[in-house]
Each structure stands twice: as C-alpha cells, then as structure tokens.
Amino acid sequence: MQHMTAPIIRRLGLVEYLPTEAAMKQFTATRDADTPDELWLVEHPPVFTLGQAGLAEHLLHASAIPVIKTERGGQITYHGPGQVVLYMMLDLKRRGIMIREWVRRIEGAIILTLAHYGIDGMRVEGAPGIYIRQGAHEGAKIAALGLKVSRSCTYHGLSFNVDMDLTPFLHINPCGYAGLETVDMKTMCVHADYSEVAEQLAQQLSAQWLASETSA
C-alpha cells in the first residue's frame, strides 16, 4: 500500500439532491489514479431516495416530498434539514481495502461520533447502519448508509440524524424494514451543534480511512 493522505473535506452546505448526485457521478467517472479522495458534507432539502434494488411499496404514503431513484445500494430513506449527509469519493483499490471492511469502518466512525456525545450505538448483523443499543429507543436507527462502487471507487455515503423533523420517516419502511423506529440525537436528549457534529463525523471517518485497522 502506498503512502495515504487524508481525504479532502468539502463543506457544501444545503444543496439539492439531484445536482449533487450528478456531481458525484461526474467526479467518479473522470477521476484517475492520482485524483485526491474527497468527503463531501452536505444537507438536503426534504427528499426520499430509493436505492438501486429499492421497492416502491416501501413508500407507504404519497406526499409532496419528491421520490428519487438512485444508484446507491439499499432501499428507501429520507433526507432533510438537520441531517448530516456525508458523501465519500474514495479509491478503495489505491487504499488497498475491500468494500466490506470499509463499510465496517464507516460504521465504526459513526459509533465513535455517537460515543463522543454520550450515545451508545451498535451494529446489527445484516442491516447496515447504526442503531441505539439500549434504553427507551433500543434498536432504533440513527444513521444509515448506502454506497455505490464504480471502478473500485466509492460514491454516495451515509446519513446521520442530528436534529430534524422525523415525521417523513413514518411515510416509509426505512431501509425496507417495516415498523423500524428512526431517531435523531435530539430524541436521545442530546442537543448538539449541527456543524460541530458534521465536523466530528468527517474527522472520525477520515481517521478510519487512514487507520491500519478499524478502531470501533
């Protein structure tokens, strides 16, 4: 493995979903062996996104919120204000890491970010994302992930719920699971600054990218 540098972190703010997805695809299609890796921190206006294998029946109630078919893995999810979305334009082959290991490291970065704020998160075998370990909201989902890999390079990424209107999650089977409760940090009685959480998450993910092995 060659010497690795930390990904460039771009803080893009509130952006529409479709142009952002197009920019990710363009970045990935035109990158070469020397293109620096990047992490994009964004927030989206309300939108449902349906993964490549997504089933329309997981949208339970039609609403004014648009539904967009995407190329990422996974089923249906919701993005909206107060949710950190982190897109990852990373060269797995150059880094020398397999996708399964990288997914585990993404989950590790989320767990460490939650722990920084006193929230105990956990993995659930066969259900990518991070869930609440114990308490009144045990088993609820607080972060989701869905990646696309093209020519050994990733795009799309993760979503992490900070302080948002969770009502739209009631209109779907989140990630294809009927009855799955979705929470945010506010639900867990943690009132954190959105930008600070986004920065913490990006730094944790960057550290996982550079680490010799996963640290959570």
Task: Based on the residue annotation, tell me whether 175 is a catalytic residue of this protein.
Answer: yes
**143 phi, psi to nearest 5 deg:** -150, 145
Distance CA(28)–CA(89), nearest Å, equals 7
Strand partners, 85: 42, 159
Contact between residue 86 and residue 205 where contact means Cβ atoms under 8 Å apart: yes
User: What b/e string do you get for 10-21 counting C-beta neighbours within 10 Å, with b at 16 or more?
Assistant: eeeeeeebeebb
Catalytic residue among 119, 172, 175, 183: 175
Query: Mind telling me the catalytic residues?
Result: 175
